[in-house]
């Protein structure tokens, strides 16, 4: 039998992610493929830098944790095609989460209306969720 967790355990695991990352993290959307893991050196060009709200995720519910507040860069850093993202502590250096970026419906860990980012344009993350496994 496969390991199964209660919804309460899954929610608790998800909520500790936000606690560990800390308040006001920084999300960077980057070109190219993600590094092999969060401990690896950054890859690609930073296309957009988003300073997230202090309370950037809602409390976990039903085994999922959704973004909270506005995730937005009012002026993108560079022009390029978004390929991945990394979520850093507020120091902008310590990577805690990373994933792929695709257009909506493309199956990426974070989906954007368009992966084509132009320097100076506004970049807004409409939705983002982390879902716990082992239900």
Q: How confident is the model at residue 126 (pLDDT cuts 50, 70, 90)?
A: confident
In tens, the pLDDT along 68-97 reads: 999 999 999 999 999 999 999 999 999 999
In tens, the pLDDT along 39-51 reads: 999 999 999 999 9
Main-chain phi, psi angles of 19, to 5 degrees? -60, -45
Residue 32 has pLDDT above 80, yes or no: yes
The reported pLDDT for the residue numbered 135 is 64
Q: Around Cβ 79, how many Cβ atoms within 10 Å?
A: 14
Radius of gyration, CA atoms only, the chain: 15
Q: What is the mean pLDDT of residues 18-36?
A: 97
| Helix or strand (DSSP H, E) at 30 | strand 26-31
The reported pLDDT for the residue numbered 89 is 97
The reported pLDDT for the residue numbered 1 is 64
The reported pLDDT for the residue numbered 124 is 92
Where do runs of H (alpha helix) occur along the chain?
7-21
- Mean residue pLDDT of the chain comes to 94
């Amino acid at each position: 039998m496969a390991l199964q967790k209660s919804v309460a355990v899954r929610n608790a695991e998800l909520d500790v992610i936000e606690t560990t990352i800390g308040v006001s993290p920084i999300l960077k959307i980057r070109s190219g493929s993600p590094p092999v893991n969060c401990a690896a050196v950054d890859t690609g060009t930073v296309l957009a830098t988003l300073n997230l709200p202090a309370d950037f995720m809602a409390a976990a519910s039903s085994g999922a944790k959704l973004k909270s507040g506005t995730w937005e860069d009012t002026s993108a850093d560079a022009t390029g095609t978004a390929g991945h993202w990394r979520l850093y502590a507020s120091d902008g250096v310590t990577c805690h989460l990373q994933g792929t970026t695709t257009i909506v419906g493309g199956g990426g860990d974070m989906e954007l209306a368009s992966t084509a980012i132009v320097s100076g344009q506004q970049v807004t993350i409409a939705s983002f969720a982390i879902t716990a496994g082992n239900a």
